[in-house]
Amino acid sequence: MSAASAGYTGLTFRQDYFADPAAWTALVSLLSDTFGIDLDPLRRPGGADPTSMPFGWFDRAGTLVANISAFAMPMMINGRKVNAAAFQSGAVRPEWRERGLYRDLTGKALDWCAAEGFEAIVLYTDKPGLYEKYGFVSLPMHLYTGAAPAPQATTALPRRLDPWNADDLGLLQAALKTRTPVSDRLAVCQSAPMFLINTQFDPDVKLSWLEDEKAVIAWKLTDGGAFLLSDVVAARIPSLGAILDGLGIAPATVEVLFAPDKLGWHGEPRSLEGGTRFMIKTDGPTILDAPAMLSPMADF
Ligand SMILES: CC(C)(COP(=O)(O)OP(=O)(O)OC[C@H]1O[C@@H](n2cnc3c(N)ncnc32)[C@H](O)[C@@H]1OP(=O)(O)O)[C@@H](O)C(=O)NCCC(=O)NCCS
């Protein structure tokens, strides 16, 4: 169905519009009105993802009424590097819904991904029905829980990182540039812009630099006192024991929010509850070889 026949004359389609500050502001406004999140300040520490490709319909006043964005998100899946894209920022203003605008934009974004040669597309959604008809399938997500490794004596002094501090941001960005995926089962290869944005969402998640390991650890203690490991940014992933020793903490239990195949530790997989699904569209396998989840620091 064309734009005109769908009944949205007066709208203008624009793609790749981030260089226009007014159009960027219109996207911030659409996402704030739809999801209640203000992306503008969050983007400052690292800048927008340079691979981002937004697709949007604007009205005559320059208001963005419908949008979907794609960006490159190379990932490890089942031990293989996959040239994946991700969809985000999918929204249509209420007064413009049920006219086919989202169908139109999804089709444009899918066509662009096919032309760019992406092997897979991933997304998060609470409305899987929107995407199943295009061949997206849900991948179940599992975290890992278990007893912590026995502590070793340590004199380590972890350095707390603040992405708003220029020196700390530089260190973080350098580590992100040379990182290895935190897991071979399911993990992003780099995703630096999303990592930096996600540091702003949960104020309880600490970023600690372990000098001996040359590793950034994203972690917190849960209300119950368990050590919750969200992500590790390093060229070589240290063992869980080395991480705890480096942080100078000795918890009884651990929860790991990614598959721990590089941590030298075994936990029990636990299904992640919640309404949000992680979906993938690919000609390759759509089943994980082992339970896994994408680190929340890669959320998009
Ligand atoms: C979901 C949303 C993007 C749909 O936009 P829209 O322009 O009304 O959608 P369209 O008119 O293009 O409909 C596209 C298709 O989605 C279906 N659809 C619409 N809303 C849906 C919903 N809430 N759940 C499942 N399917 C839905 C339509 O029936 C239509 O199916 P068809 O292609 O088989 O005919 C819009 O309601 C919205 O912005 N909601 C709030 C934010 C949100 O949930 N975004 C999606 C995040 S993943």
**Does residue 283 form part of some domain?**
yes
pLDDT, residue 45, reads 63
> What is the domain range of residue 178?
143-271
Residue 40 covered by a domain: yes
* CATH assignment of the domain containing 187: 3.40.630
Say yes or no: 60 and 76 in one domain. yes
**Residue 118 alpha carbon to ligand 1 centre in Å:** 24
296 within some domain: no
Residue nearest to atom 18 of ligand 1 (CA): 130
Judged by DSSP in three states, 175 sits in helix
Same domain, 225 and 158: yes
Cα gap 53→31, rounded to integer Å: 16
Q: Is the pLDDT of residue 1 over 70?
A: no
| pLDDT at residue 5 greater than cutoff 70 | no
**How much is the pLDDT for 208?**
98
E strand or H helix that includes residue 189: none
Ligand 1 contact, 80 CB (< 6 A) = no
Of 127, 133, 276, the residue with max ligand 1 atoms within 8 A of its CB, to mutate for a pocket test, comes to 127
Above 90 in pLDDT, residue 76? Answer: yes
Q: How far is the CA of 10 from the centre of ligand 1 (A)?
A: 21
Report the number of distinct structural domains present in the chain.
Answer: 2
Same domain, 191 and 132: no
Mean pLDDT of 146-172: 90
Say if 211 falls within a structural domain.
yes
Provide the pLDDT for residue 46: 62
Domain membership flag for residue 148: yes
Is the pLDDT assigned to residue 232 strictly greater than 90? yes
Alpha carbon distances (Å) from 184 to 78, 121, 195, 291 = 6, 18, 18, 12
Give pLDDT, residue 8: 74
In a domain, 57, yes or no: yes
Q: Which residue has the higher pLDDT, 10 or 3?
A: 10
Assess whether 147 and 53 both reside in one domain: no
**Phi (first) and psi of residue 233, to 5 degrees:** -110, 110
pLDDT averaged over the chain?
93
Cβ of 55 below 6 Å from ligand 1:
no
Q: Is the CB of 41 under 6 A from ligand 1?
A: no
CB 214 within 8 A of CB 156: no
How many percent of the chain have pLDDT more than 90?
84
Residue 135 has pLDDT above 90, yes or no: yes
64 shares its domain with 128 = yes
Within a domain: 300: no
| Rounded distance from Cα 130 to ligand 1 centre (Å) | 6
Describe the strand order of the beta sheet including 159-160 as a list of residue ranges.
159-160, 206-210, 215-221, 227-234, 253-256, 142-147, 268-271
CATH assignment at residue 43: 3.40.630.30
Ligand 1 atom nearest to 106, measured from its CA: 12
Q: Nearest C-alpha to atom 14 of ligand 1 is from which residue?
A: 103
Does 145 score more than 60 pLDDT?
yes
What's the mean pLDDT in 212-236? 97
CA nearest ligand 1 atom 16, residue: 130
Specify the long-range contacts of residues 216-224, CB closer than 8 Å, at least 24 apart. 216/161, 216/171, 216/172, 216/175, 217/158, 217/243, 217/246, 217/247, 218/295, 218/297, 219/243, 219/247, 221/249, 221/251, 222/255, 224/253
Pair (9, 125) in one structural domain? yes
Residue 215 domain-assigned?
Answer: yes
Q: Does 152 lie in the same domain as 57?
A: no
Residue whose CB lies within 8 A of the most ligand 1 atoms, among 33, 93, 97, 125, for a mutation test: 97
Query: Nearest C-alpha to atom 3 of ligand 1 is from which residue?
Result: 91
Does ligand 1 have an atom closer than 6 angstroms to the CB of 251? no
Q: Which atom of ligand 1 is nearest to the CA of 103?
A: 12
Interval 127-147 mean pLDDT: 97
Q: Are strands 120-125 and 84-92 parallel, antiparallel or unpaired?
A: parallel
Q: 42 falls in which pLDDT band (50, 70, 90)? A: low
Residue type, 224: G
Q: Does position 298 have pLDDT exceeding 80, yes or no?
A: yes
Whether residues 181 and 281 share a domain: the answer is no
- 61 shares a domain with 16: yes
Assess whether 132 and 241 both reside in one domain. Answer: no
Name the closest-CA residue to atom 36, ligand 1: 92
The pLDDT tens digits of the residues spanning 193-208 come to 899 989 988 889 999 9
Q: Is 103 in the pocket of ligand 1 (CB under 6 A)?
A: yes
Query: Does residue 34's CB lie within 6 angstroms of at least one atom of ligand 1?
Result: yes
**Same domain assignment for residues 231 and 280:** no
Decide if pLDDT at 53 tops 60: yes
**91 Cα nearest atom in ligand 1:** 39
Residue 2 has pLDDT above 60, yes or no: no
pLDDT-derived band at 230 (thresholds 50, 70, 90) equals very high
What does the block give as tokens for 134? 């295009």
Calpha distance 219→194 (Å, rounded): 17
Question: Does 163 share its domain with 95?
Answer: no
Reduced to 3 states (helix: H, G, I; strand: E, B; else coil), residue 59 is coil
Confidence class of residue 273 from pLDDT cuts 50, 70 and 90?
confident
Q: What is the pLDDT of residue 7?
A: 54
